[in-house]
Structure 1
Amino acid sequence: MTSPVVEKPSFLRSTFGGLPRPFWALWGGTLVNRLGTMVMPFTGVYLTQARGLSVATAGLVMAVFGAGSLVSQLLAGVLADRIGRRATLAGGMLASAVMMLALGYSTTLPGILASMFALGLVVDAYRPASNAMVADLVSPVERPRAYGLLFWAINLGYSVGMTAGGWLAEAGFLWLFWVDAVSCVAFAVLVWRAVPETRPAGRPEAGGFGVVLRDRLMVGYTLVMLGDALVYSQTFTTLPMAMTGEAGLTYAQFGLAMALNGVLIVIVQPLVSGWLGRRDPARTLALGVAVMSVGFALTAFVTSTFWLAVTIAVWTAGEIVIAGIAGTILATLAPPHLRGRYAGLFGFAWSAAAVLAPLMGSGLLEAGGQKALWFTTGGIGLVTAAGMLALGPAIRRR
């Protein structure tokens, strides 16, 4: 008697199949939004080149953006649990469109500062809601793949947006603000029409973040992710200034090299996401952060577009390893009715990095040049990787 032949699922089915339709609407909205995300990667260049601010002043302005984002993540986390994921995400995107245009038309330093703070307050408000939506919609076993696919959509759009953004910046920075605003509106409309509310039924727990802050493992994980965010945030804060300033690259050259990041992720990440999702999350994330740190340290030696592309390839490999894992750990730690708040605290780490990274990066760049900046960044990343390994046993027990 012969055994029945078990047919293995195809690559497309194993990578893209089996996820609920509302997830794909969220994925599509994220892709559209990222296709138009052009302002933030070029903010430093815009402030110094188009508005004539010094590097130090530009760093201060970007830190003001981060201050708004600090409030944003905590507020949006509570709102996602209180009024719902869908309303929080759509409302944040519509407000972002308005503030993008306000910043684009601001010409004075007070106006730029006010617009940057308001933009920081709303532009990332979607993150806690989006993270919670994925955890609500997708089963635990499929979450690494789902978060990885969302990350893939971000970079699929980013690979196109960065290239187009580099060319549009040559034609005029105002184009960047209009394209970005339209993409935000498109994201809001798609989610409102195609994604139902996913917040668990029942009365949401009252209060703020006290219950989250009492979870020492979550607090430790947030601190570790702050280190990761400090490293990665250099890509859209100090890296553009360093490459178009000290390294002497043009906007178009920088945009073309940075597009490699998205292209590599689009090609490679779906091939390895399933395998990486079966590995131990804490060790996988630590490995990814370590590889990414080495890539940023090598940026100290960049003098051409080719060598910038080489360093981008290295730290992109680290990103690919991390893809899907950070959100999976977060969903594991968070009770269902508190996913918005947990995601808000997680996002708070990235917002804190938005404040600290430009101040740290611009200060190091002015004081010690590229070597001081990129060696320090790499060192922070390696310490972060060690911290993730230390949290591993507790995460596995949870």
Structure 2
Amino acid sequence: MSTPLMDKPGFLRSALGGLPRPFWALWSGTLVNRLGTMVMPFTGVYLTQERGMPVAAAGAVMAVFGAGSLLSQPLAGVLADRIGRRATLAGGMLATAAVMLWLGASTSLTTITAAMFLLGLVIDVYRPASSALVADLVSPEERPRAYGLLFWAINLGYALGMTVGGRLAGMGFSWLFWIDAATCVAFAVLVWRAVPETRPEAQESAGGFGVVLRDRVMVGFTLVMLGNALMYSQTVTMLPVAMTKAVGMPTGDYGLAMALNGVLIVVVQPVVSGWLGRRDPSRTMALGLAVMAAGFGLTAFVTTVTGLALTIVVWTVGEIITAGIAGTVVARLAPAHLRGRYAGLSGFAWSASSVLAPLLGGTLLGVGPEALWFTIGGLGLVSAAGMLALGPAVRRR
């Protein structure tokens, strides 16, 4: 007996069809850009090995990048509303390309530090503009699927880019900077040529960022997103440390287990995004956060690579559930002329987590693995409860 999922043409139409052509241009540009994301994952290696910095100095330089990132999202949100989504996205990508090349050519501590700050400021300028573009171009019913597909493109491109970047780094780090810069330019050109400007009338966009901060529902949702970000950020901060140092897991085994995350997202996420998009966003987001919390909480009991793989499967399922929902909620809460600012506030939660997550995780891991993972799991459950509490207000919007 056939089922809808077995009907491949029908499945492809439901998973990929019905979205406007400009969205697919944005999706393609996002994929190309992520395929070239090679510099940031290897920044620490570049600073210590290529530029000969002590580990402490490299850490301080990377903290400067985080400081730039904290300013990036609110500024980008205002620009997306004032000068336009397309102009902000394309301008941010071109600025990122220029700073990438400057960083690659810098040799002194002063210029490297300045370049890292500017890179933190411009590298994610595209995010609020991209989020606002999806909300402007795609109908409310299709937004969860559209945001989910963008999430899929980011993960697919990143996984492939990391594989290629690791090999190119062995040939010389200059390749990474040139390829990253080239894909940024390609993203900018594609969006400028194929995506229309969707900014509302200028007079409607008047007002500062305080307009968003006075929206208590949006501020509450941003706190939920901060909890989500602090939880997920442990995967790139304390999880590798906890597994290799505290548990004694070989790095090869750890990398193999972590590959499950990317594989599951690439294979599963497009299949379920349409179905998840038909569910209530607040309850779906809360469910995903709770599943992620369970996965991270269970990490306290991991002693083998098999156990780690099982917890990765659990929190990846939660990640897939939440993938297209956050952007959907922000689009539902934001007035059309303030979508950039609202997306910027949501993005600020992730920028803040890049600074706070290692501080929180490092302190807790110093106490013990159980302290870290039970606290992180508890934080996820609190975030899920907060999302449920916000649900009625989100539905009224």
TM-score (norm. length: structure 1): 0.87
C-alpha displacement of 1:164? 2.9
Partner Cα distance (1:68, 1:150) in 2: 24
1:297-320 CA-to-partner distances (Å, cap 9, x unmatched) read 444555666554433322211111
Say which is worse superposed, 303-312 or 198-207, in terms of deviation.
303-312
Partner Cα distance (1:72, 1:223) in 2: 18
Partner Cα distance (1:255, 1:397) in 2: 44
Q: 1:127 aligned to 2:127? A: yes
C-alpha displacement of 1:138? 0.5
- Note closer, same or farther for the CA distance 1:311–1:43 as it changes in structure 2 (3 Å cut): farther
1:81-230 superposed matches below 5 A = 81-106=81-106, 109-169=109-169, 172-201=172-201, 203-230=203-230
- Note closer, same or farther for the CA distance 1:218–1:352 as it changes in structure 2 (3 Å cut): same
Partner Cα distance (1:303, 1:162) in 2: 27
Contact 2:88 2:126 in 1 (8 A): yes
Letter aligned with residue 384 of structure 1: S
C-alpha displacement of 1:253? 6.0
1:271-350 superposed matches below 5 A = 271-300=271-300, 307-350=307-350
The aligned counterpart of 1:80 is 80
Partner Cα distance (1:306, 1:178) in 2: 39
Say which is worse superposed, 166-175 or 147-156, in terms of deviation.
166-175
Structure 2 residue runs of 5 or longer lacking an equivalent are 1-6
C-alpha displacement of 1:153? 1.0
3-state SS in 2 of match to 1:203 = helix
1:182-241 CA-to-partner distances (Å, cap 9, x unmatched) read 222221111111111111245342221121111111111111111111112233344455
Letter aligned with residue 281 of structure 1: P
The aligned counterpart of 2:70 is 70
TM-score (norm. length: structure 2): 0.87
- Note closer, same or farther for the CA distance 1:142–1:331 as it changes in structure 2 (3 Å cut): same
Structure 1 residue runs of 5 or longer lacking an equivalent are 1-6
Letter aligned with residue 392 of structure 1: G
- Note closer, same or farther for the CA distance 1:266–1:343 as it changes in structure 2 (3 Å cut): same
Contact 2:249 2:305 in 1 (8 A): no
Partner Cα distance (2:296, 2:286) in 1: 16
The aligned counterpart of 2:35 is 35
Q: 1:389 aligned to 2:388? A: yes
Q: CA RMSD of the aligned region, Å?
A: 2.8
1:48-102 CA-to-partner distances (Å, cap 9, x unmatched) read 6665544x66554443222211211111111111111111001111111222334
Contact 1:68 1:121 in 2 (8 A): yes
- Note closer, same or farther for the CA distance 1:248–1:65 as it changes in structure 2 (3 Å cut): farther
The aligned counterpart of 1:377 is 376
Partner Cα distance (1:249, 1:167) in 2: 21
Say which is worse superposed, 343-352 or 368-377, in terms of deviation.
368-377
Partner Cα distance (2:45, 2:303) in 1: 18
Equivalent pairs counted in the alignment come to 389
C-alpha displacement of 1:38? 2.8
1:107-142 CA-to-partner distances (Å, cap 9, x unmatched) read 555444322211110011001100000000011111
Partner Cα distance (1:178, 1:254) in 2: 30
- Note closer, same or farther for the CA distance 1:149–1:25 as it changes in structure 2 (3 Å cut): same
- Note closer, same or farther for the CA distance 1:19–1:197 as it changes in structure 2 (3 Å cut): same
C-alpha displacement of 1:335? 0.6
Letter aligned with residue 277 of structure 1: G
